[in-house]
Amino acid sequence: MAGGKVMSTNPLLELKALGQHIWLDNLSRTLLREGGLQRQITEDGIDGVTSNPSIFEKAIANGTYYREDLERLRGAGLDAEACYESLVIADIRAACAMLLPAFRASQGEVGYVSLEVSPALANDTVGTVAAARRLLHQVGLDNLLIKVPATPAGIEAFSRLTAEGISVNVTLIFSLAQYEAVAQAYLRGALRWLESGGQARHLRSVASIFLSRVDTLVDKRLAALGTMHAARLSGRAGIALAKCCHGRYRDIFHGPDIALLRLAGIRPQTPLWASTGNKNPAYGDLLYVEPLIGPESINTLPDATLAAFRNHGLAASKLREGLGDAQILLQALLELGIDLDAIGHSLQVDGVLLFAEAYQKILRGLQAESVTWTGQ
């Protein structure tokens, strides 16, 4: 390694040396049955998997390997949601098994698979806690992360689940304010877990900060202003948000307020870069990867972005560079009337809606299957 840069035939394999873990933002029975996930674990160093209702909606709609389970479920008297959970939990368990070596080798630092609670519970704290407990029991594996949205109700549920020793991936974070609320909820829950006699190293959590969706909306607002100054700020908000969140992460998890928790062995809640597939062809395909490589971080990549980094990515630590510039950029946006906290709220509402629509689409399809079965 020279000048902070690492050269390799497969640059994905060099990222661990720079302190970053790469997870796959996809899961399907095709990936599991045809060896795709195992190849990515072995050849690319993937040590985690994230999933969501949109991912499973596409997997179930387009996959051929679900037919066997669908036949097995025929006539079982399950409703559509129970059928869905039966299908996806089988995939989750299979992925967990593949990642168990990474989980054990890292002593529980990585090697996780994320499973999201129903999006219909996004504003229901009690329902989210109950669903998380039930899904954890059904999967029955230590390297599962229950995925909970960073809505106000979801954050309260997350704190309660952490206090019970349940490991959580907090998703749909779109602003620094939302990230702050999530990090503080983790500290509250972790403290209660320790006070109840829980083992510190049993806890694991990540905070999933969505990036490309931020730029998509901010760029629309900038384009509407129609000035050269606004144009120069385009495509930069997502990266600036990530760098500011990681700066705040360092303040919180390496600062005095968590000193006693760290002495007790509590792991910091790792920032995870999500929504990292570039949606604007005018920008590079690694816009949300290369500038955010660095220690104490995770990047979850869709297949196309993973392949792009494998093909022409440069493994160089840049995450901690330019924090001051990132803060200046967010202030410049605010001065133009673009408040990222307000945008974050709007994007979170939209994100919950998109996942709920995907979830309902799955259930409608499974309900149609059930009607066909009972009519035979």
Q: How far apart are CA 244 and CA 326, in angstroms?
A: 7
Q: Which ranges in the chain belong to alpha helices (H)?
A: 29-33, 36-44, 53-62, 67-73, 80-105, 125-139, 152-163, 176-195, 212-225, 228-232, 237-253, 259-264, 303-312, 323-335, 340-374
Q: How far apart are CA 226 and CA 204, in angstroms?
A: 45
Closest CA to 312 of 282, 280, 273, 284: 284
Write the DSSP symbol of residue 258: G
Structure tokens at 5: 């840069």
Structure tokens at 15: 């990222």
Torsion on CA atoms 220, 222, 228, 231, rounded to nearest 10: -60
For β-strands 5-6 and 315-316, DSSP reports them as antiparallel
- Cβ(91)–Cβ(50) below 8 Å: no
- Cβ(233)–Cβ(333) below 8 Å: yes
209: phi then psi, degrees, rounded to nearest 5? -105, 120
* 147 is annotated as an active-site residue: yes
Determine which one of 5, 16, 147, 220 is catalytic: 147
- Cβ(165)–Cβ(193) below 8 Å: yes
Beta-bridge mates of residue 147: 116, 169
Q: Which amino acid appears at position 140 of this protein?
A: G
Q: How far apart are CA 109 and CA 118, in angstroms?
A: 26
**Active-site residue list:** 147
